[in-house]
């Protein structure tokens, strides 16, 4: 039976008193345990108790063997329960990347990725999406979402471009503020979500070809393939003024908006690893900007600081990292940090500052009073109103770039040829961070496709994966897509669409009077070679699990309202952003219909 007379367990006491009381009761082992986050496949639940762990996460695709909302809830609670059995019963907090819905859970609703939301400029839409997402997260007892990315991507060859709202800082600020308002107010009584502004700082400002992932951090003899990780985790080569104006600014508004965790970037600033950057993490973020939440590392990123792990730990914690996303060898981290404190290389004052920040946030979230959420909230997952919201979002993110010869709106009496695998593929419409880390092609989760939607509008529909047809159609809708990717796996040296995609468009062109091109992509793609073959072009970005909704735009039942939040370049010479002034379709371009 817990001693409820203790100050820290008395919810009527001020949080600052509860933290002081609890901190004074904690051993060094309990304190360092709070600073340790392990990924769920690397830790047996009982070790959450044995090592007093503060947090467990699911990395992209870190799913239960049988992936359902119910098993997700059981899995998460299996890590929270042992934390409550420790001497001081400090609840562990579970974190995931729910960057476009509770995207690791099969049959959860998948919303458009941020690049589309940026094009919508609709802050109310974003607020409603993330409130819905928060409810599904809390239904599975997940209280921490590693989101929003407040990245400001400046070179769209980056595989994380689609996680950013825009290349324009002001749009990122506008949308991420709305995100945090929705995430931190799920309107579920006094149960709250922890958001995480990431990745601090300059993750979207790196220079192509500067990525240096040290071989000693790679598992086994895995070598980074030549065409991957070329800009992700690279070096942001800017002076401080530019860094502040472009990349730090969104953190200022995120802090004003109440964000209570910040994740450090894998990248570097002028050659120095962000995970070892005391000036930016402690002096600027915590000091000058007054951030009083806690700072979490990115996945195993402290290991990149030095070949000597002791040095990694000392430099990262002294730089101001409060919790280490280890994520595998949590015992080694705990041993190493303990050794560093015993040796005086990390002061007890630094440890106490980190733990104070973590505990403060846990008290704010109400975790001590309500570590377990209500099972009936599971009904939120995949609910009809969420799917309707995802339909609305797909429609408000689709950006009409070109519409000649009145190709759009389509008319239901027209004969229509639908071409391309992507027209009937949920996985391609969702993109990365869906069910698995990299995303997948195919019917990977519950949802609807654009072909489904067109079939709702017309009875004279022919579907052809390669664009071939026996009869000429009045109009064709060709859908091309980037294969799903995440992070540096998606770094892409050439943004021209592929020869196969060009061939698909040209084949289809011969079988129709008018041709509408719909693009599923995590960034603008270069379509100059086929633009004249297309009467209309729609950038649908990564619309999510309800892509059938786009048919309403094509048939004019819903207006196109979105505007580009990234410059649509016509050649590789127009990259990075600073070189794209001559591009025909700039930020703000978007036809309305």
Contacting positions for ligand GLC (CB under 6 A): 59-60, 97, 146, 198, 266, 298-299
Q: Which is nearer to ligand GLC, 177 or 265 (CB)?
A: 265
Q: Which is nearer to ligand GLC, 45 or 60 (CB)?
A: 60
C-alpha–C-alpha distance, residues 358 and 350, integer Å:
13
Active-site residue list: 298, 487
Please tell me the number of Cα atoms within 13 Å of 563 on its side-chain side: 9
Tell me which residue of 468, 471, 477, 475 sits closest to 449, measured CA to CA. 477
Cβ–Cβ < 8 Å for 428, 484: yes
C-alpha–C-alpha distance, residues 279 and 268, integer Å:
13
Q: Which is nearer to ligand GLC, 477 or 486 (CB)?
A: 486
Cβ–Cβ < 8 Å for 151, 172: yes
Distance spanning both ends of the chain, measured CA to CA: 65
Rounded least distance, CB 149 to ligand GLC, Å: 7
For residue 205, which phi and psi values (nearest 5 degrees)?
-110, 15
Q: Which is nearer to ligand GLC, 266 or 315 (CB)?
A: 266
Helices 330-342 and 309-319 cross at an angle (nearest 10°) of 70
Inter-CA distances, 578 with 89, 240, 575, Å: 52, 17, 7
Q: Which is nearer to ligand GLC, 33 or 59 (CB)?
A: 59
Cβ–Cβ < 8 Å for 260, 193: no
Inter-CA distances, 446 with 426, 434, 491, 561, Å: 8, 12, 28, 27
Q: Which is nearer to ligand GLC, 195 or 371 (CB)?
A: 195
- The DSSP symbol for 245 reads I
CA angle 89, 90, 93 (to 5 degrees): 130
Rounded least distance, CB 481 to ligand GLC, Å: 23
Q: Which is nearer to ligand GLC, 264 or 418 (CB)?
A: 264
Rounded least distance, CB 118 to ligand GLC, Å: 17
Rounded least distance, CB 327 to ligand GLC, Å: 8
For β-strands 55-57 and 399-403, DSSP reports them as unpaired
Rounded least distance, CB 487 to ligand GLC, Å: 6
C-alpha–C-alpha distance, residues 360 and 458, integer Å:
57
Residue environment code for 498-525, b if the CB has 16+ CB neighbours within 10 A, otherwise e:
eeebbebbebbbebbebbbbbbbbbbbb
Rounded least distance, CB 238 to ligand GLC, Å: 20
For β-strands 512-520 and 536-541, DSSP reports them as parallel
Q: Got the DSSP string for 14-29?
A: -HHHHHHHHHHH--HH
Partners of 418 in the beta sheet?
A: 463, 477
Cβ–Cβ < 8 Å for 178, 126: yes
Q: Which is nearer to ligand GLC, 296 or 550 (CB)?
A: 296
- The DSSP symbol for 149 reads B
C-alpha–C-alpha distance, residues 86 and 106, integer Å:
33
Rounded least distance, CB 57 to ligand GLC, Å: 6
Q: Which is nearer to ligand GLC, 217 or 338 (CB)?
A: 217
Tell me which residue of 527, 524, 475, 464 sits closest to 501, measured CA to CA. 527
Rounded least distance, CB 146 to ligand GLC, Å: 4
C-alpha–C-alpha distance, residues 502 and 366, integer Å:
54
Rounded least distance, CB 368 to ligand GLC, Å: 25
Cβ–Cβ < 8 Å for 84, 367: no
């Amino acid at each position: 039976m817990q001693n409820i007379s203790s100050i820290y367990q008395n919810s009527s006491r001020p949080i600052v008193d509860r933290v002081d009381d609890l901190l004074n009761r904690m051993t060094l082992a309990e304190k360092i345990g709070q600073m340790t986050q392990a990924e769920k496949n690397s830790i047996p639940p009982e070790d959450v108790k044995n090592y007093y762990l503060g947090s467990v996460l699911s990395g992209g695709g870190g799913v239960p063997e049988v992936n359902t909302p119910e098993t997700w809830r059981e899995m998460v609670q299996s890590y929270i329960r042992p934390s409550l059995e420790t001497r001081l019963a400090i609840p562990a907090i579970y974190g995931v990347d729910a960057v476009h819905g509770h995207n690791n859970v099969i049959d959860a609703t998948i919303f458009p990725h941020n690049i589309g939301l940026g094009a919508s400029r609709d802050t109310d839409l974003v607020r409603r999406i993330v409130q819905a997402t928060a409810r599904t997260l809390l239904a599975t007892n997940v209280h921490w979402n590693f989101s929003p990315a407040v990245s400001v991507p400046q070179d769209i060859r980056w595989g994380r471009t689609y996680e950013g709202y825009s290349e324009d800082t002001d749009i990122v600020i506008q949308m991420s503020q709305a995100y945090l308002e929705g995430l931190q107010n799920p309107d579920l009584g006094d149960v709250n979500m922890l958001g995480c502004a990431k990745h601090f700082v300059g993750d979207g400002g790196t220079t192509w070809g500067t990525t240096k992932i040290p071989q000693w951090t790679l598992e086994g003899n895995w070598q980074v393939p030549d065409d991957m990780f070329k800009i992700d985790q690279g070096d942001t080569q800017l002076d401080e003024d530019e860094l502040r104006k472009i990349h730090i600014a969104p953190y200022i508004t995120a802090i004003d908006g109440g964000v209570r965790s910040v994740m450090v970037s894998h990248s570097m600033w002028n050659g120095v690893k962000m995970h070892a950057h005391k000036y930016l993490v402690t002096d600027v973020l915590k000091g000058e900007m007054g951030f009083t939440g806690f700072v979490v590392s990115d996945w195993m990123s402290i290991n990149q600081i030095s070949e000597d792990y002791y040095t990694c730990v000392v430099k990262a914690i002294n730089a101001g990292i409060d919790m280490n996303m280890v994520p595998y060898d949590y015992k080694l981290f705990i041993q190493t940090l303990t050794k560093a404190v015993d040796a005086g290389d990390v002061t007890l004052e630094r440890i106490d500052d980190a733990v104070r920040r973590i505990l403060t946030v846990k008290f704010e979230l109400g975790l001590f009073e309500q570590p377990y959420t209500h099972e009936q909230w599971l009904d939120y997952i995949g609910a009809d109103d969420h799917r309707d919201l995802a339909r609305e979002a797909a429609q408000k993110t689709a950006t009409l770039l070109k519409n000649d010869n009145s190709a759009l709106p389509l008319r239901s009496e027209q004969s229509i040829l639908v071409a391309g695998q992507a027209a009937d593929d949920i996985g391609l419409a969702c993109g990365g961070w869906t069910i698995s880390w990299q995303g997948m092609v195919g019917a990977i989760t519950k949802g609807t496709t654009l072909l489904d939607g067109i079939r709702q509008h017309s009875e004279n529909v022919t579907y052809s994966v390669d664009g071939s047809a026996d009869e000429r159609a009045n109009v064709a809708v060709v859908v091309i897509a980037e294969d799903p990717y995440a992070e540096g796996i998606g770094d892409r040296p050439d943004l021209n669409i592929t020869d196969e995609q060009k061939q698909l468009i040209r084949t289809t062109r011969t079988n129709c009077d008018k041709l509408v091109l719909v693009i599923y992509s995590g960034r603008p793609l270069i379509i100059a070679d086929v633009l004249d073959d297309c009467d209309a072009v729609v950038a649908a970005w990564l619309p999510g699990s309800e892509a059938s909704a786009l048919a309403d735009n094509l048939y004019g039942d819903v207006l196109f309202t979105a505007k580009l939040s990234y410059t649509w370049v016509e050649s590789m010479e127009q990259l990075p952003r600073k070189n794209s002034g001559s591009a025909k379709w700039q930020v703000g371009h978007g036809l309305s219909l």
